[in-house]
Amino acid sequence: FLELSRPYLREWGDDWVQKAPRRFVYYDRYQTELFPGQDRKIVILSEVLASPCTIGYEELQDLIVTRVNGIAIHGLDDLAAATRKPLAGFHKIEFQDPPREIYLDAQDVIAREAWLMKTYGLPALRR
């Protein structure tokens, strides 16, 4: 998960305005007008790290996150807070576009944290 930013868009190269997903370019350009007077960020599921708890979700990428566990997401702080409140033992992640929602077993996610860090060489799972 990450917040939509210009550095992220530049990952598509020098011609990112043409190569990045159109909706991301639009939100980058008009975010201030779309959310006037709000310190709101667009949160994106950029990609899924393949693991036993994400089977079936490996192909998901570049999805705008709208809610997690019933909590509206307006930045990474909201996402972090929402993941501390699973619903009936599951994390329900809702997106703007299909698939509209996915579910992850909250205990399985916690149990796999060390495995994810080791497998993918991650110094931390959150920053």
Local confidence pLDDT in tens for the 127 residues of the chain = 999 999 999 999 999 999 999 999 999 999 888 888 788 899 999 999 999 999 999 999 999 999 999 999 999 999 999 999 999 999 999 999 999 999 999 999 999 999 999 999 999 988 7
Inter-residue contact 33 to 63 (CB < 8 Å): no
Q: Indicate the helix (H) or strand (E) that contains 23.
A: helix 22-34
Q: What is the pTM assigned to this prediction?
A: 0.91
Q: Which two tokens stand for residue 87?
A: 């619903």
